[in-house]
């Protein structure tokens, strides 16, 4: 039995059971296409098997490398972008403490990130910070040629070599394609330890491959539990062919029904700041998978109650083109009780003795009622608590729902042709060899 549940009871006035059931046959076909590898983008269905295929050879190796990296490093820098960055960060941030330094479960290394943007100030500060730190690099790129991580890796590699000389190679771990790309070539030349990203796993569906698992293990977090949670969800979703009982199918259908009724923006909201990067990962998964052919729900994110004091106004009263999916976490991992105060100047004695999580849950309930009454459908994902197991479930649930939802929308949820456009222009503007014609064209436009 999985621990994650999904419900739409607060949106029953926006979506009826009959409307949902109209998708029954179609969803059965899409599920068949996914499990039999017959749908659009079927070359990229490797993610479906990842939780079960990561055998003990891989997990043993991950744990042994993680131990080595943790022992030799005060800091570990993960170099990567998009799918080669967000999933690892989502899990690490969700399971590490709330306050800095975010150092994994115990006294592990501080995890930092690079290659996920091109900001000179950030890279300059990072290099200066690393001057007097012992550190290692995990560099992740499936293509091995993505500009942002390639630039960061060149800078960090040279910094590391300046510090450790030839021994720098023992501090670099590359996760990349089995046979091609510049990163693979560099890894072979300098004998870096490498992990393979399977050919049939796309970036945004790769968190349960070494792309996510290596950094997560290095942060001191239990990859086996994460995989077990995902495997449990995978088995459950495969077995459960009733649309109303299958949370991934149900979520996929309801978001498409809402989309067809003009709800073109979905806000994924959580009341736990530790889920901030899980929301970022979800935005990439859904945005890159569905936003194509002039279609797709725009995925937005919010952290409540913080954003109720900013976005809250718009959600309550603005354009009615949005719906919300709320992640509700039942149990906190710590205990904080609101104390009594003799003076009660702040007027808070009415909640004396209550746990903060109770107040947070009342905020969630109150907000859900207000937003629903304000015309915003609310869907809910319930997690009993945040741990590696439930995050594994959540990840797999979102991935499967995304695939089904993409097929309902009539697009290929596994490609990303639109990402190339900015890259071509950037290369041309940087006068990269091979882009001469476009360089000329763009220069004329800029004149
Ligand atoms: O999901 C995707 O395919 C992308 O977001 C990629 O992960 C991202 O562009 C990074 O690509 P690469 O791993 O090839 O460096």
3-state SS track over the chain: CCCCEEECHHHCCCCCHHHHHCCHHHHHHHHHHHHHCCCCCHHHCHHHHHHHHCCHHHHHHHHHHHHHHHHHCCEEEEECCHHHCHHHHHHHHHHCCCCCCCCCCCCCCEEEEECCCCCHHHHHHHHHHHCCCCEEEEEEECCCCCHHHHHHHHHHHHHHHHHHHHHHHHHEEEEECCCCCHHHHHHHHHCCEEEECCCCCCHHHCCCCHHHHHHHHHCCCCHHHHHHHHHHHHHHHHHCCCCCCCHHHHHHHHHHHHHHCCCCEEEEEECCHHHHHHHHHHHHHHHHHHCECCECCEEEEEECCHHHHCHHHHHHHCCCCEEEEEEEECCCCCCCECCCCCCCCCCCHHHCCCEHHHHHHHHHHHHHHHHHHCCCCEEEEEECCCCHHHHHHHHHHHHHHHHHHHHHHCCCCCCCHHHHHHHHHHHHHCCCCCCHHHHHHHHHHHC
User: Smallest Cα–Cα separation from 390: which of 340, 343, 329, 344?
Assistant: 329
| Ligand 1 atom having least distance to the Cα of 176 | 13
Indicate whether 2 pLDDT > 70: no
Average pLDDT, the chain: 95
Sequence ranges of the domains in the chain: 5-39+226-409, 46-221
Atom 5 in ligand 1: which residue has the minimum CA distance? 82
User: Smallest Cα–Cα separation from 384: which of 4, 9, 90, 96?
Assistant: 4
- Count Cβ atoms below 10 Å from residue 110 Cβ, excluding itself: 19
Predicted confidence (pLDDT) per residue in 390-415, tens digit: 999 999 999 999 999 999 999 999 99
Domain 5-39+226-409 = CATH 1.10.3720.10 = no
Predicted confidence (pLDDT) per residue in 167-210, tens digit: 999 999 999 999 999 999 999 999 999 999 999 999 999 999 99
Say which of 32, 117, 423, 441 is annotated catalytic. Answer: 423
Predicted confidence (pLDDT) per residue in 281-324, tens digit: 999 999 999 999 999 999 999 999 999 999 999 999 999 999 99
Say which of 309, 335, 444, 445 is annotated catalytic. Answer: 309
**435 CA to middle of ligand 1, Å?**
21
What is the percent of the chain with per-residue pLDDT over 70, rounded to a whole number? 98
**153 CA to middle of ligand 1, Å?**
15
Instruction: Respond yes or no: is residue 148 known to be catalytic.
Output: no
Q: 342 to each of 219, 356, 359, how far by Cα in Å?
A: 44, 19, 21
The answer, yes or no, to whether any atom of ligand 1 lies below 6 A from the CB of 206, is no
Distance CA 309, CA 397 (A): 30
Say which of 288, 324, 393, 399 is annotated catalytic. Answer: 288
100 pLDDT band, cuts 50/70/90, is low
The answer, yes or no, to whether any atom of ligand 1 lies below 6 A from the CB of 377, is no
Q: Are 143 and 179 in contact (CB under 8 A)?
A: no
The answer, yes or no, to whether any atom of ligand 1 lies below 6 A from the CB of 89, is no
107 pLDDT band, cuts 50/70/90, is low
The answer, yes or no, to whether any atom of ligand 1 lies below 6 A from the CB of 290, is no
Distance CA 235, CA 251 (A): 17
Predicted confidence (pLDDT) per residue in 350-377, tens digit: 999 999 999 999 999 999 999 999 999 9
The answer, yes or no, to whether any atom of ligand 1 lies below 6 A from the CB of 202, is yes
Report the DSSP beta bridge partners of residue 75. Answer: 110, 135
Distance CA 370, CA 317 (A): 10
Token pair in block for residue 348: 């808070």
Q: What pLDDT sits at residue 103?
A: 46
Instruction: Respond yes or no: is residue 295 known to be catalytic.
Output: no
Unique residue bearing structure tokens 């725009």: 298
User: Smallest Cα–Cα separation from 256: which of 242, 243, 269, 241?
Assistant: 243
Q: What pLDDT sits at residue 55?
A: 80
Q: 94 to each of 144, 355, 423, 442, how far by Cα in Å?
A: 28, 21, 31, 43
Token pair in block for residue 160: 């590391």
Indicate whether 418 pLDDT > 90: no
Token pair in block for residue 221: 């977090």
Instruction: Respond yes or no: is residue 163 known to be catalytic.
Output: no
| Ligand 1 atom having least distance to the Cα of 205 | 1
Indicate whether 60 pLDDT > 50: yes
Token pair in block for residue 19: 């409307």
Indicate whether 84 pLDDT > 50: yes
106 pLDDT band, cuts 50/70/90, is low
Identical fold, 5-39+226-409 and 46-221: yes
- Count Cβ atoms below 10 Å from residue 245 Cβ, excluding itself: 11
The answer, yes or no, to whether any atom of ligand 1 lies below 6 A from the CB of 82, is yes
104 pLDDT band, cuts 50/70/90, is very low
Phi, psi of 126 (to 5 degrees): -65, -45
The answer, yes or no, to whether any atom of ligand 1 lies below 6 A from the CB of 288, is yes
Distance CA 307, CA 304 (A): 5
Architecture field, domain 46-221? 3-Layer(aba) Sandwich (3.40)
**323 CA to middle of ligand 1, Å?**
28
The answer, yes or no, to whether any atom of ligand 1 lies below 6 A from the CB of 142, is yes
Q: What pLDDT sits at residue 446?
A: 83
Q: What pLDDT sits at residue 97?
A: 76
419 pLDDT band, cuts 50/70/90, is confident
Q: Which residues of 111-127 are buried (b: 16+ CB within 10 A; e: fewer)?
A: bbbbbbeeeeeebeebe
């Amino acid at each position: 039995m999985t621990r994650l549940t999904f419900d739409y009871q607060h949106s029953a006035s926006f979506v009826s059971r009959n409307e949902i059931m109209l998708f029954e046959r179609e969803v059965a076909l899409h599920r068949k296409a996914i499990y039999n590898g017959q749908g659009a983008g079927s070359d990229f269905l490797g993610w479906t098997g990842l939780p079960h295929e990561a055998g003990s050879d891989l997990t043993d190796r991950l744990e042994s490398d993680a131990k080595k990296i943790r022992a030799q490093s005060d800091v570990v820098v993960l170099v990567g972008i998009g799918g080669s960055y967000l999933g690892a960060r989502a899990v690490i941030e969700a399971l590490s403490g709330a306050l800095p330094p975010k150092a994994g479960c115990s006294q592990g290394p501080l995890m930092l990130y690079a290659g996920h943007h091109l900001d000179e100030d950030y890279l300059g500060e990072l290099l200066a910070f690393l001057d007097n730190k012992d550190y290692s690099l995990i560099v992740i790129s499936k293509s091995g040629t993505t500009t942002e991580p390639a630039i960061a890796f060149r800078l960090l590699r040279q910094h590391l070599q300046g510090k450790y000389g030839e021994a720098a190679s023992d501090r670099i771990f590359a996760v990349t394609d089995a046979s091609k790309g510049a990163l693979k070539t560099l890894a072979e030349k300098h004998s870096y330890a490498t992990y393979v990203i399977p050919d049939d796993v796309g970036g945004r569906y790769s968190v349960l491959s070494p792309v996510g698992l290596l950094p997560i293990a290095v942060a001191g977090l239990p990859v086996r539990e994460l995989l077990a949670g995902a495997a449990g969800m995978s088995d459950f979703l495969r077995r459960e062919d009733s649309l109303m009982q299958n949370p991934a199918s149900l979520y996929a259908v309801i978001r498409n029904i809402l989309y067809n009724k003009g709800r073109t923006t979905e806000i994924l909201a959580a009341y736990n700041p530790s889920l901030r990067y899980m929301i970022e990962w979800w935005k990439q998964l859904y945005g890159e998978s569905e936003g194509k052919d002039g279609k797709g729900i725009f995925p937005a994110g919010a952290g409540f109650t913080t954003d109720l004091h900013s976005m809250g106004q718009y959600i309550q009263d603005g354009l009615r083109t949005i719906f919300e999916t709320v992640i509700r976490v039942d149990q906190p991992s710590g205990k904080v009780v609101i104390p009594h105060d003799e003076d009660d100047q702040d007027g808070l004695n009415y909640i004396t003795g209550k746990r903060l999580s109770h107040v947070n849950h009342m905020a969630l309930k109150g907000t859900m009622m207000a937003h629903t009454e304000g015309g915003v459908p609310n869907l809910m994902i319930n997690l009993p608590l945040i741990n590696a197991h439930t995050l594994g479930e959540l990840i797999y649930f979102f991935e499967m729902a995304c695939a089904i939802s993409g097929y309902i929308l009539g697009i290929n949820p596994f490609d990303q042709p639109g990402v190339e456009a900015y890259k071509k222009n950037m290369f041309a503007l940087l006068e990269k060899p091979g882009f001469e014609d476009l360089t000329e064209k763009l220069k004329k436009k800029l004149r």
